[in-house]
Structure 1
Amino acid sequence: MPNRDRMTSRWLRFAAVAAASLALLARPAAAQQILRDAETEAFMADMSAPLVQAAGMEPRNVQVLVINDPNINAFVAGGQYVWVHSGLIAAADNVNQVQGVVAHELGHIEGGHVIRYGEGMKEATGITLLSLVLGAAAIAAGGAEAGMGILGMGQQAAMGKFLAFSRAQESSADLAGARYLSKAGVSGKGSLEFFKKLQNQEYRLAIPQDDSYGRTHPLSGERINVLREVYTVDPAWDKPMDPKLEARFERIKAKLVGFVSEPSQTLLRYPESDQSLPAHYARAYAWHKSAYPDKALAEVDALLAAAPHDPYFLELKGQVLLESGKPADAIPPLREAVQLTNQPLIATLLGHALIATENDANFAEAEKVLRNAIARDRENPFAWYQLGVVYEHRGDLPRAALATAERYSMMGEDQMALRSADAAMQGLKPGTVDYLRAQDIAMVSRAAVEQKRKKR
């Protein structure tokens, strides 16, 4: 009897691990570093707008954002957000390939697939729990070997059920994406080309190509065969890419490679012999990362020689100057970039430069610039940090604490957000807008802190 009890306990733990494995499989990717960049976000919005409209959604409500991850992937994880890995952009040959990926992810949003993942999980978990009960009963009755078999088959059946559910969602998103591309008048060639890239990756990893059972996604070859029949008969199949959009993509890709890659890799990919604008862009970031500001500025000046009033070239010049210890010199190009775009991320950089001069005369402008930036984009922790510095400089400690509370709240640092919000309320007049905002942050943060404490 003691041995049988231990066997039952062992398989109870096994079944619990099996259920946990299903939960992990369904869980979206963990939080990763978001790459906030004014030019990239503007490009992503313009590139995806026709597809978003074709999917029946409002472009202003859908965001396509880039995260720093070298893997070739994209995903949705709730809300109307499409997350694209930096590795995917670096691997894409043209803008049409990225549009194909975004169209597929929009299919997941329209289909409510993130929410419906729970349906697949519920059914698979039900199979696991049933096999747990039957297996444990068999073990308790003395049939240890039979019980082990029931549990093993139950786990396999549950996993297979969930994987089949996931593959069905992927196939549905493929076809939905094809509809959006067609309605938007965008060719599906890029979509097929990208699936061929994924297929080549499967070949390199020696993934069997005869059956997609056991995978969350259908095999790329299976997807290509289905989509080829849809895309090749579409009126947009032979439609060329927008040359202006493609030129913008090449710039985005180059600056992203320069920002996330090792400088030596960037310089191999974009050698000095390449005098194109994207190559100058990439090398500017590579030299800046390597702490060669003069070489970085030479590349930026080459860009500005071709386009003297390009706001993003001006932004880069200001960034290089600021981060190499010349904040006063950074102000003029950043001012012009803000005037040309009214872009909050660039405005935040200008505010930083004004503060970094440590010149009292610049703090009033810094406050104005930063308050305007936050009014257009509240989800910017660094802007709140800089605004807090301005408030502290002028002795307004309650509002400095409130700005700090905003920053910590966005960063998920609930304990620090609570402390800062409480400190702000001590000095703010009750009933004012700022007091009520501090109160809201304190209430939400306190609840989050208590919830975490209960889970320990």
Structure 2
Amino acid sequence: MARLLQFLALTLASLALMARPALAQQILRDAETEAFMADMSGPLVKAAGMEPRNVQVLVINDPEINAFVAGGQYVWVHSGLIAQADNVNQLQGVVAHELGHIEGGHVIRSGEGIKEATGITLLSLVLGAAAIAGGAGEAGMGLMGLGQQAAMSKFLAFSRAQESSADLAGARYLHTAGISGRGSLEFFKKLQNQEYRLAIPQDNSYGRTHPLSGERIQVLREVYEPDPAWNRPPDPYLEKRFERIKAKLIGFASEPPQTLQRYPESDQSIPAHYARAYAWHKSAYPDRALAEADALLAALPHDPYFLELKGQILLESGKPVEAIAPLREAVKLTNQPLISTLLAHALIASEDEANFAEAEQVLRLAVQRDRENPFAWYQLGVVYERRGDTPRAALATAERYSMIGQDQMALRSADAAMQGLKPGTVDYLRAQDIAMVSRAAIEQQRKKR
């Protein structure tokens, strides 16, 4: 019986793991990248019948060529995928496919596939246990093994059907948005080349969660090539922005020698300056990083993201006072909460009391527009602490801990905030909400033990 229970646990765990992508990677929050992703995906989101403001395409720091959805209206794109994409059209093809998963409710419906496969597994376990009890031990274990294989095959077929459905849905969105499917096919060819390098058999996709790339290319070519948008080139404005984003991500995520090899000094393009600026900054050569940032600003003096870059290099090189001016201009041009948080950091790091009022104002506006920023809440707590407002410092700390899932610390900070805040005020009620949610989460975790 112990062996039987262990077998069941392993089988169900394997199905659950296959159905749930991991989200342990670092999320890359960047103002320019998020603005680009929203503009690039906007027409596709509308074509899918969704509201663009409710759908987010976010980047995680992972070198793998991958993208996925994992609940809600979020598309997660690996930085490695962007680095390997040749143009914005290829990225749009990937995002269109992932939107197909959202429209189809595939994350929620994956539970149906697990349930059906689990039913097969349980039935085989019952039959196998009966055979073992009747003295046919080998036959019983064989029945269990066959049941596990049948369950896994059922789930894999379910997953492949979802992938094929998302492929066709993505093709429909590209058609409706007037965007060529050429990039989608080009990217599947990249994946096919990867399959060749990994020596993955190309005769059939049995035993895989996804259809083989060759199979997908064959089906989609018949859909894409007759489309009126087939020969339409990528949007030139989006393409320029894509090249910048790609270079920035490579500079941030790759090792500096790799970046400098890919974007040598002989390359004086905007993307190359961008990539090298990050490479030199990561290598602790602030003067060379600033020279690259200044080259960018010489080309586009009022580009908010180049101003942000210069301010970031100055701030992280120990020159917060010099960082304030470019960051202040960048905030004025964009009103972007992530850049506002960087400006507030510079204002606080200046150690000038005269700058704290501006830092508080900037941070309050930033968290109103983007509450999902733990560092902004941390800095707001610092401002309140410096000002002697201990209850609101505790509330800001509670917000931060709640956001990063540290429920015990969130509860402790929320309780401390309520002790000093006037009951019935907005801040008091917010602290009360955090305490209630954190207490419930702690209780739930206790019950699971």
TM-score, length of structure 2 as denominator length: 0.99
Please give the secondary structure, in 1, of the residue aligned with 2:28.
coil
Equivalences for residues 433-448 of structure 1 within 5 A: 433-448=426-441
Shift of 1:16: 2.2
Whether contact under 8 Å (1:297, 1:320) holds in the other structure is yes
Matched, 1:245 2:244: no
Whether contact under 8 Å (1:186, 1:239) holds in the other structure is yes
Matched, 1:73 2:87: no
Shift of 1:221: 0.3
Matched, 1:453 2:437: no
Alignment gaps of 5+ in structure 1: 1-7
Matched, 1:37 2:26: no
Shift of 1:31: 2.9
Aligned to 2:341: 348
Shift of 1:292: 0.5
Task: Read off the aligned partner of 2:159 and give its amino acid letter.
Answer: S
Distance (whole Å) between structure 2 residues aligned to residue 102 and residue 25 of structure 1: 21
Please give the secondary structure, in 2, of the residue aligned with 1:65.
strand
Equivalences for residues 110-189 of structure 1 within 5 A: 110-189=103-182
1:25-55 deviation line (CA, Å, top 9, x unaligned): 1112233211000000000000000000000
Equivalences for residues 406-445 of structure 1 within 5 A: 406-445=399-438
Matched, 1:201 2:194: yes
Aligned to 1:397: 390
Matched, 1:275 2:275: no
Task: Read off the aligned partner of 2:294 and give its amino acid letter.
Answer: D
Aligned to 2:221: 228
1:179-225 deviation line (CA, Å, top 9, x unaligned): 00000000000000000000000000000000101000000000000
Aligned to 1:265: 258
Distance (whole Å) between structure 1 residues aligned to residue 263 and residue 136 of structure 2: 67
Distance (whole Å) between structure 2 residues aligned to residue 353 and residue 101 of structure 1: 37
1:319-364 deviation line (CA, Å, top 9, x unaligned): 0000000000000000000000110100000000000001000000
Which of 327, 337, 343 is the equivalent residue of 2:330? 337
1:336-395 deviation line (CA, Å, top 9, x unaligned): 000001101000000000000010000000000111111111111110000000000000
Which of 373, 377, 380 is the equivalent residue of 1:380? 373
Distance (whole Å) between structure 2 residues aligned to residue 94 and residue 424 of structure 1: 50
Whether contact under 8 Å (1:54, 1:183) holds in the other structure is yes
Aligned to 2:9: 16
Distance (whole Å) between structure 2 residues aligned to residue 56 and residue 38 of structure 1: 26
Distance (whole Å) between structure 2 residues aligned to residue 110 and residue 166 of structure 1: 16
Aligned to 2:287: 294
Aligned to 1:307: 300
Task: Read off the aligned partner of 1:18 and give its amino acid letter.
Answer: T
Please give the secondary structure, in 2, of the residue aligned with 1:34.
strand
Please give the secondary structure, in 2, of the residue aligned with 1:93.
coil
Which of 333, 341, 358 is the equivalent residue of 1:365? 358
Greater shift after overlay, 23-32 or 276-285?
Answer: 23-32
Task: Read off the aligned partner of 1:231 and give its amino acid letter.
Answer: Y
Shift of 1:15: 2.5
1:119-149 deviation line (CA, Å, top 9, x unaligned): 1010000000000111011111110110011
Distance (whole Å) between structure 1 residues aligned to residue 314 and residue 174 of structure 2: 42
Distance (whole Å) between structure 2 residues aligned to residue 229 and residue 134 of structure 1: 46
Whether contact under 8 Å (1:76, 1:105) holds in the other structure is yes
Matched, 1:48 2:10: no
1:73-105 deviation line (CA, Å, top 9, x unaligned): 000011110000001000100000000000000
Whether contact under 8 Å (1:15, 1:151) holds in the other structure is no
Aligned to 1:94: 87
Distance (whole Å) between structure 2 residues aligned to residue 414 and residue 272 of structure 1: 49
Shift of 1:306: 0.3
Shift of 1:454: 1.7
Alignment gaps of 5+ in structure 2: none
Q: How many residues align?
A: 449
Aligned to 2:78: 85
Matched, 1:63 2:79: no
Please give the secondary structure, in 2, of the residue aligned with 1:82.
strand
Whether contact under 8 Å (1:351, 1:370) holds in the other structure is yes
TM-score, length of structure 1 as denominator length: 0.98
Please give the secondary structure, in 1, of the residue aligned with 2:394.
helix
Distance (whole Å) between structure 2 residues aligned to residue 58 and residue 32 of structure 1: 27
1:224-272 deviation line (CA, Å, top 9, x unaligned): 0000000000000011111111000000000000001111111111111
Distance (whole Å) between structure 2 residues aligned to residue 173 and residue 68 of structure 1: 24
Distance (whole Å) between structure 1 residues aligned to residue 238 and residue 67 of structure 2: 20
Task: Read off the aligned partner of 1:242 and give its amino acid letter.
Answer: D
Task: Read off the aligned partner of 2:117 and give its amino acid letter.
Answer: A
Distance (whole Å) between structure 2 residues aligned to residue 216 and residue 207 of structure 1: 13
Distance (whole Å) between structure 2 residues aligned to residue 320 and residue 272 of structure 1: 19
Shift of 1:12: 3.1
Shift of 1:24: 1.1
Distance (whole Å) between structure 2 residues aligned to residue 14 and residue 374 of structure 1: 49
Task: Read off the aligned partner of 1:197 and give its amino acid letter.
Answer: K
RMSD over aligned Cα, in angstroms? 0.7
